[in-house]
Chain A
Amino acid sequence: MTTLSGRLLKTVAVLAIVVWSLGPIVLGVLTSISTQRDVASVPSHWLPHDATTTAYHELLQGTRGAAAGGTVTEAGTFTRSMWNSTQLALETTAITLIVSTMAAYAFGRLRFRFGGPVLAVLVGTMVIPIFVIVISLFQVLADAHLIDTKRGLILVFVSTLTPLATWLLYTQVKEMPPEPEEAALIDGCRRWQAFVRVVVPQMSSGIAAVAAILVLSVWGEFLIPLLLTSTMNAKPVTVQITEYVGKYTTNYPILAAAGVLALIPPAIVALLLNKRIAGMLAGSS
């Protein structure tokens, strides 16, 4: 009796979580294959009368005039923004990983003057909200002619994400036994060779996890690129999507289609690295 009600409770809880997490996605997918008329009808119905890919076509190939009801799309802009997001995420992640893996190793293993305080200050910058510095950040980037460039955004992302990445990897370095790299030093390695050949492979599970965090963080960034970009030169998909909100009316299927497409790359990253992280954890013990 108790086990039955316990199982029932568990099932309900799991269902609630599933609905909570998948609900918006399902709703988005359904909306994206509906017509604007279906979505706008009162009472609105959840399932489209006639499933259609019009919204996707219009999103990718451009809307023709006022037919879109306030939402205007141009051919190529959405794909461009997706490409921008991809570049921003990958380049930021690569640079941040290189910097923070080396920093984490240095803070965790090497004895140098003021190592502790420097790490504390670095990690301490994580508590500063980006809103506090965003105005001065704009000034700095404007002076450096980096407004509306991917390079400028990457610079900002790398510097805001490095403390977190360094901290996460530092805790991993601290947990690793130092003997394998000492063995490598005895086996003929210089410090950097031991780092590259022995330490980094040892850290690979942590690096994969941090990589996932970085890609997802950059992909989800909105405020900073909103303020620091203005054209398709650097505008990521998160900012581009807001353009599909019309002044008077919005074509919800197009908006939803953009959302669905924007979800795919981070979902792939999460799935790929998730598998790798799980594999690493299983193999290490």
Chain B
Amino acid sequence: MSGTISLEAVTKHFPGGVVAVNELSLEVEPGEFLVLVGPSGCGKTTALRMVAGLEPVTAGQIRINDKIVTKLPPRDRDIAMVFQNYALYAHMSVRGNMGFGLKMARMPKDEIRRRVDEAAAMLGLVDYLDRKPRQLSGGQRQRVAMGRAIVREPAAFLMDEPLSNLDAKLRVEMRGEIIRVQRRIAAPTLYVTHDQTEAMTMGDRVAILRDGVLQQLGTPDEIYDNPVNVFVAGFIGSPSMNLITARMDGTGVVFDRTRVEIPPATMTGRPGLAAYTGREVVVGIRPEDFRAEDDATVELKVNRVESLGSELMAYLDGGQEGFEITARLERSAQVQEGERARLAVDRERLYFFDPETGEAIG
């Protein structure tokens, strides 16, 4: 099955002047799993609801499978949607829930039964078909919601934070399950979440939204390696990237009493950087790019150490009140709370941003 979801400069103004989504353009390609991610209130759910037809579009155009659907009611868009709170029909059985869309489409009973049975087998719901939603666990309800979506064999899937109501362990499990089902169905999927881990692990591509404006669209690796601005840099990655304001002295950056030499390859790779000599830049260092080594680049006081079992999280004094630098270290690293730690920074992996605009320096 092939199909696309495409948004062209889609804008949503709410009464009262709030611009929830501002000229959002993106295209979900055939079979692609595209994750729309951003902090709460960034407009991602509004964008999804506009694609679903549940929210009128102020300006712009939406196409599903090359058909303009901007003004069509939801039932004419050939989509299926999975909601955060499952939105099951409480008075219907699992079978009734899954077959409802097909029944509305006046599909023959045998065909409905066949498709529901097939989807139930795929989702491990065969034993629950006669139960009511309230007799199911959260994970099972989520599967029913998925099942209701897939039996329709829609041109496109929409998912609005489908995992947020599940506990952590089940969430990881369902992540894999959703991906598995989507790969099998191969319909373009627009998936909304606030959880960057979900975005990075599930998305073929990830679109990051902030205040209704698309910040960056790319594969998880592209976004992780080349965030276009400070917002994306801080949002993607867990724990967040350390963003340190430092002075550029031509071949290195200085903050507090520490100087980090910038490798020549980086200087040539980012020609814009030289222009910042003598000025301040925002340097980004991912927590995982620190190593505890004697061949140290920086030496900082350790405020706090947390052990995660497999690794250590060290919170280092950033020189100013309340500013801490996070370093993710091997469990064998010798760091003591209250003492100074000697750490090496992977200098190839430094990020640079303009302190005024927050844009990446290229």
Residues of A within 8 A of B (CB): 177, 179-180, 182-190, 193, 198, 201-202, 204, 283-284
Contacts and interface: CB of A to CB of B under 8 A. Distances in A.
A177 to B, nearest CB: 6
The 10 closest A-B pairs by CB, nearest first: A179-B87, A188-B104, A187-B101, A201-B91, A183-B87, A185-B74, A186-B74, A188-B75, A179-B83, A180-B87
Given A177-B85, A185-B74, A186-B81, 6 more contacts: A179-B84, A183-B81, A186-B74, A201-B89, A202-B91, A204-B91
Contact of B73 (A179, A185, A204): A185
Given A187-B148, A190-B75, A182 B87 contact: yes
Given A179-B85, A182-B83, A187 B134 contact: no
Contact of A202 (B53, B79, B90): B90
Contacts of B90: 180, 201-202, 284
A16 B73 CA distance: 60
Nearest to A188: B104
Contacts of B89: 180, 183-184, 198, 201
B170 interface: no
B12 to A, nearest CB: 15
A185 B87 contact: no
Interface string B139-150: 000000000100
Contacts of A189: 75, 104
A181 to B, nearest CB: 9
Nearest to B86: A179
B101 A188 contact: yes
Of A187, A198, A202, the most chain B CB neighbours within 10 A belong to: A187
B247 interface: no
A190 B74 CA distance: 9
A198 B89 CA distance: 7
Contacts of B52: 182, 186
A8 B104 CA distance: 61
B152 interface: yes
A283 B101 CA distance: 25
Contact of B100 (A182, A187, A283, A284): A187
Contacts of A198: 89
Interface of B: 52-54, 73-75, 77, 79-81, 83-91, 100-101, 104-105, 134, 148, 152
B74 A193 contact: no
A201 B54 CA distance: 21
Nearest to A283: B134
Contacts of B148: 183, 187
Nearest to A200: B91
A177 B90 CA distance: 12
Nearest to B132: A283
20 contacts: A179-B83, A179-B85, A179-B87, A180-B89, A183-B83, A183-B87, A183-B88, A183-B89, A184-B100, A186-B74, A186-B77, A186-B79, A186-B81, A186-B101, A187-B101, A187-B148, A189-B75, A190-B73, A201-B91, A283-B134
B interface, over-half SS: loop
A189 B89 CA distance: 13
Of A193, A204, A283, the most chain B CB neighbours within 10 A belong to: A283
Contacts of A204: 91
Contact of A187 (B54, B85, B91, B104): B104
A284 B74 contact: no
Nearest to B91: A201
Of A179, A188, A198, A201, the most chain B CB neighbours within 10 A belong to: A188
Contacts of A201: 89-91
Contact of B75 (A179, A180, A185, A202): A185
A179 B87 CA distance: 5
B135 to A, nearest CB: 10
B305 to A, nearest CB: 44
Contacts of B134: 283-284
A194 to B, nearest CB: 9
A188 B112 CA distance: 15
B101 A182 contact: no
A199 to B, nearest CB: 10
A39 B84 CA distance: 68
Nearest to B101: A187
Contacts of A182: 52, 54, 74, 81, 83, 87
A284 to B, nearest CB: 7
Nearest to B92: A201
Contact of B88 (A180, A185, A193): A180
Nearest to A189: B104
Nearest to B83: A179
Contacts of B73: 185, 190
A185 B72 CA distance: 12
Contacts of A284: 90, 134
Contacts of B53: 185-186
Nearest to B76: A188
Contacts of A283: 134
Nearest to B90: A202
B78 to A, nearest CB: 10
A145 B53 CA distance: 50
